[in-house]
Chains A and B, each alone.
Chain A
Amino acid sequence: MSRVITVAVAGQPNSGKSTMFNAITGAAARVGNYPGITVERLEGTYRFNNHHIKLIDLPGTYSLTSYSPEEIVARNVIIDERPDVVINMVDASSLERSLYLAIQLLEMGVPTVIGLNMMDEVRRKGIRIDSQKLSEALGAPVVECVARIGVGKHQLMEAAVQLSERSKGTWKPLVFSYGHDLDPVISEMVKKIEASRFMTDRYPARWIAVKYLEDDESIIKQGDEAGPLSQELKAMVQEVRRHTDKTLHTYPEALIADYRYGFINSILRRGILTRTQDLRLDASDQIDRVVTHRVMGPVLMLMVLWLMFYITFHLGSYPQSLMEKGFGLLGSAIGYLVRPGMLQSLLVKGVVDGVGAVLSFTPLILIMFAMLVFLEDLGYMARIAYMLDRVFRVFGLHGASAMPFIMSGGIPGGCAVPGVMCSRTLRSPRERLATIFTAPFMVCGAKTTAYIILTAAFFPNYPSLVMLFLVILAWAVALVTARLLRWTVIKGPSTPFVMELPPYRLPTFRGVAIHTWDRVRQFVTKAGTLIFGISVIMWALMTFPQLPAETAGRFDQEIQRIKEQVETSDRGEKTADEASQQELQARLQELEARRNEAALRHSIAGRIGSGLEPISRLAGFPWQVNIALIGAFAAKEVFVSTMATAYSMNETAPEENFSLSQRLASDPAYTLPVILSLFVFILFYAPCMATLITIVRESSWSWALFVLLGSIGFAYALSVCVYQAGTLLLG
């Protein structure tokens, strides 16, 4: 049995790198994240003839500079984990640009196998590539592939094994000329670097010199720590920079890129690449004439978004309600098996209700994500970003922010959990954080339940108008907030939009399935455990401390007394008429409701709610609303049921019974300013815990905390303004 060979798979975005990785490793890939950033790390294995190959999927990058986390990760894996071989998947239909990454890998010196992908497209377009000559020119094995159907995967593995046996761990950096302006200074720098062994244990000397000339932040920072030579190198770079600026009006890093492309071109011209027509429009460009047309484009986009939305939330509602019913059944089963008391309450009201409320989102995430991955792999997401960028840029966002907003409830009824998740398609860090902060402002399905009750109570004649107003308000405030954030907390120039419009390619089922499954699994496991904890805490807040024995006893005695009356009248003759029977039942229910209200008010949550009343009064909220808002953090649907408890109502299904609405409508405490203030607060005050945990996963704990506190503060300020202004104006 030979030793394990480690192979890293690199490639530019849309090169078919992941498709080939999936083809080689099958379904056995393990998905994880690179520490600290939300870049997926996939690992898998391949075996043949006693060779055991471990594969690592590197993030897709156009280059190996240090501008994005993806690039730094790709570079560090190669440097730190020193894979035996790197396979570089290359889109052969745009060979010149695709080799830009390959050249940089070869400059590092890591043994590299080039996988020429999309060879079917290449042949169809009539392009001829001499892969034998290319291999000789680059000094690296070249394998022709069609990743979609798995062509070339075994040959790639064979080439990797042979190369690792030939190179035996030694790296031989590719050297070519960077022109007479840079070559002399490079050799001088290399001499100095080698003489003082400056970081040469990690990197090839020439590579370090080139990175200094490229002004690579990450390498220069490491160099500053490594020794005084760093200052000297920087001075040399400064010198040559002045020189190139004066004589050529350009910078060393631009020259380096020019010479890399020049080198690639000089190779390709040696009869390797023929019959190419670089500027001839693709079929995809022809499709785009319609798909991104001035009028047709937006119309088609609206239809796609609407369809996606419709499928997610209408198709998803069946398994979702099934899961809700399942959890309901589980709750009743526990209620039946476990004696009434603390444990039963904890299990049913805390664990099952809390975790169930969140896990019921799983089908939505599954469907939504499958479609999202499909659109992404198809190439349509890039077109959405292309069409909407002009609008979103005004607010400091990116064209790709549209999807998270819409999914979160930009069309009412969405859900911020999948919404925040699909912010992952945003490659610009600042725009991404702003999107994550503001997407939960949208009118999600759970908020809608609260608005149905409140609208029925206060604006019974204008339900659709109120909803429309809320949606417009949500969009306006989200966009303006994003703008404010981008001016303050996440200040900075907009990340360059420069991106590829990849050719439309039908996604593989396997690729979509792997990514979707991965996302769902992460949501269920990671979120499941945290939500379990928070649910228990929320339950405890609303349960403890319990009513003092005396008060509880009084309620119990009263309830017992009425129950006895009911029983006696039951047993009694026909004289006990129906009316008195019903009256007793009603009193019994009212008493239980009052007991629940007293218990809730006595609990920690109740005390917080009452304690916050002096503050919340500024926004017009009574203590009942405070408790309901606290409860609604667990899941926004809880707002209605907690309000019902706080107003001594029996728990009612919001769609069927509008008694809570009637109760609120008749309450003189709810003046128009209070109502408007409440509407605003519910819309913006805090993401629910499921969303918050998703935010933690998609960004960081500190950003999630900032989102939580920031949006509470923001919503409060807004509500106070609305209430105070309303009171002033309306007297």
Chain B
Amino acid sequence: MVMPLRKMKVNQRGRIMAVNANGELGRRIRDMGLVPGTDVMIVGRAPLRDPVAIRLKGFTMTLRNSEADYIMVETEN
């Protein structure tokens, strides 16, 4: 099932299908290794539910929900 990264639940895993951001945001996302084909897992969310922390390629990073909207993920069931 394909959904935006924002919709994923904590501990859920998936594989990035597409990153639809361009410009500075797109570049920063790609620089961190969020490119299609990458496996990700939601580590947690900040106390106010936003930003979201994710795990990929052996490290942990965080981005805002509004930024996670641009990332489409195919999730396991």
A and B held together in a complex? yes
| Chain A interface (Cβ < 8 Å from any Cβ of B) | 62-63, 65, 67, 91, 93-97, 100, 127, 249-251, 253-254, 257-258, 261, 276, 278-279, 281-282, 284-285, 288-289, 292-295, 297-298, 382, 386-387, 389-391, 393, 399, 495-503
**Contact between B22 and A498, CB atoms less than 8 A apart:** no
What's the least CB distance linking B48 to chain A, in Å? 4
Is the pair A63, B48 in contact by a Cβ cutoff of 8 Å?
no
- Does B41 reach chain A (CB closer than 8 Å)? yes
Asked whether, in the complex, the Cβ of B28 is within 8 Å of the Cβ of A67, the reply is yes
Considering only residues 22-67 of chain B, those with a C-beta below 8 Å from chain A are 22, 24-33, 35-41, 43-44, 46-51, 53, 55-64, 67
Q: How far is the CA of A276 from the CA of B56 in the complex (A)?
A: 12
Q: Which residues of B contact A502 (CB under 8 A)?
A: 59
Contact of A285 among B25, B27, B43, B48 (CB under 8 A): B43
Instruction: Tell me, yes or no, whether B19 is within 8 Å of chain A by CB.
Output: yes
Question: Known: A284-B60, A285-B55. Contact between A496 and B39, CB under 8 A?
Answer: no
Q: Select which of A288, A297, A498 is within 8 A of B32 by beta carbon.
A: A498
Do B46 and A292 touch (CB < 8 A)? yes
Chain A positions within 8 Å of B26 at CB level = 251, 253-254
B residues less than 8 Å from A65 (CB atoms): 27, 31
The residue of chain A having its C-beta at the shortest distance from the C-beta of B56 within the complex is A278
Residues of B within 8 A of A399 (CB): 51
Q: Does B6 contact A (CB under 8 A)?
A: no
Contact A95 B31 (CB under 8 A): no
* Contacting pair A294 B47 (CB below 8 A): yes
Q: Please determine whether B53 and A288 come into contact, CB atoms closer than 8 angstroms.
A: yes
How close is B65's CB to chain A, nearest CB, in angstroms?
A: 9
Cα distance A284–B37 in the bound complex, in angstroms: 25
**Cβ-defined contact, B51 with A390, below 8 A:** yes
Q: How far is the CA of A482 from the CA of B45 in the complex (A)?
A: 26
Shortest distance between the CB of A410 and any CB in chain B (Å): 19
* Given A261-B35, A497-B64, CB of A387 within 8 Å of CB of B22: no
Choose among B13, B28, B38, B43 the residue that contacts A498 (Cβ–Cβ < 8 A).
B28
Q: Which residues of B contact A100 (CB under 8 A)?
A: 31, 33
Asked if A497 contacts B62 (CB within 8 A), the reply is yes
The contact of A390 among B24, B36, B41, B50, by CB within 8 Å, is: B50
- Taken together as a complex, chains A and B put the C-alpha atoms of A279 and B38 apart, in Å, by 11
Alpha-carbon gap, A279 to B41, bound state (A):
6
B residues within 8 A CB of A293? 47
CB distance from A379 to the nearest CB of B (A): 10
Among the listed B13, B47, B57, which residue makes an inter-chain contact with A94, where contact means beta carbons less than 8 Å apart? B57
Q: A284-B60, A386-B51 known; 10 other A-B pairs, CB under 8 Å?
A: A94-B58, A97-B57, A257-B30, A258-B35, A285-B55, A297-B47, A496-B63, A498-B32, A498-B63, A500-B32
- Is B31 in contact with A289, judged by CB distance below 8 angstroms? no
Asked if A97 meets B19 with Cβ closer than 8 Å, knowing A390-B51, A501-B62, the reply is no
Q: Please, could you name 19 A-B residue pairs with CB atoms under 8 Å apart, sorted by A? A: A65-B27, A93-B59, A95-B58, A97-B59, A254-B22, A257-B27, A257-B31, A258-B35, A261-B35, A276-B58, A284-B60, A285-B44, A288-B44, A295-B47, A297-B46, A496-B28, A498-B62, A499-B62, A501-B61
By CB atoms of chain A within 10 A, which of B13, B37, B53, B58 has the most? Answer: B58
Cβ 8 A contact of B33, one of A91, A96, A503: A96
Chain B positions within 8 Å of A389 at CB level: 46, 50-51, 64
With a cutoff of 8 Å between Cβ atoms, the chain B residues found around residue A498 in the complex are: 25, 28-29, 32, 61-63, 67
A496 to B29 Cα, complex, angstroms: 9
A97 contact set on B, CB distance < 8 A: 32-33, 57-59
- B11's nearest neighbour on chain A, judged by CB, is A281
Complex CA gap A118/B59 in Å reads 13
Q: Select A496's contact among B24, B41, B43, beta carbons within 8 Å.
A: B24
Known contacts A498-B67, A499-B62; A279/B47 CB under 8 A = no
Residues of B within 8 A of A284 (CB): 60
In the complex, what distance in Å separates the CA atom of A495 from the CA atom of B64? 11
Most chain B CB within 10 A, of A293, A390, A500, is at A390
A301 to chain B, nearest CB (A): 9
Closest chain B CB from A401 CB (angstroms) = 15
How far, in angstroms, from A95 to B56 measured CA to CA in the complex? 12
Nearest-Cβ distance from residue B28 to partner chain A, whole angstroms: 4
A390 to B43, CA, bound (A): 18
A294 to B10, CA, bound (A): 13
Name the B residues within 8 Å of A279 (CB-CB).
Answer: 13, 39-41, 55-56
Which of A100, A279, A498, A503 has the most chain B CB atoms inside 10 A of its CB? Answer: A498
When distances are taken between beta carbons in the complex, the residues of chain A under 8 Å from B51 are 386, 389-390, 399, 497
Chain B: CB-nearest residue to A12: B31
Contact B60 A292 (CB under 8 A): no
